[in-house]
Homo-oligomer: A and B are copies of this chain.
Amino acid sequence: MTESGNIFGHIPLCLPTELFETLAHKRAVRIERILSHGQATPEGTWYDQDQDEWVLLLAGSAGLFFEGEPEPHSLMAGDYIMIPARRRHRVAWTSTNETTIWLAVHIDG
């Protein structure tokens, strides 16, 4: 973790698994970069988090699925969304032909 950097820097050429990096951590907040390349949350698995999470998709594209909704939200570059604590969700898909860069702001209760 560094105090400054570039969010588009150091993108691995190959991403066999998603890459999670903490960019900053202050008080109740952790700011994270997530890199995806075709990964998705395994079928039948849900994220169910104690924290609120605000996500901003900076490059690539992804489908974010909330439990009970008919279909995933398609996220493109610049799209942001608040995921409230305890709102069950999964990543339905991420782009397979480019790296998807997420910024995630995790907010403790």
- Chain B residue numbers with a CB within 8 Å of A15 are none
The stretch from A21-29, A36-44, A90-98 touching chain B is A21-29
Q: Total interface residues on A, using CB and 8 Å?
A: 31
Given the interface contacts A26-B52, A26-B107, does A4 sit within 8 Å of B82 by beta carbon? yes
Contact B107 A29 (CB under 8 A): yes
A103: nearest chain-B partner, CB-CB: B56
| Residues of A contacting B: mostly | strand
- Chain B residue numbers with a CB within 8 Å of A23 are 54, 80
A81 lies within 8 A of chain B by Cβ: yes
Contact B4 A80 (CB under 8 A): yes
- Chain B residue numbers with a CB within 8 Å of A82 are 3-4, 24, 26
Given the interface contacts A77-B8, A80-B7, A82-B3, does A54 sit within 8 Å of B31 by beta carbon? yes
Instruction: Please give me the 10 A-B residue pairs with the lowest Cβ-Cβ distance, nearest first.
Output: A8-B78, A4-B81, A6-B78, A26-B52, A7-B78, A3-B82, A29-B107, A24-B54, A26-B107, A24-B82
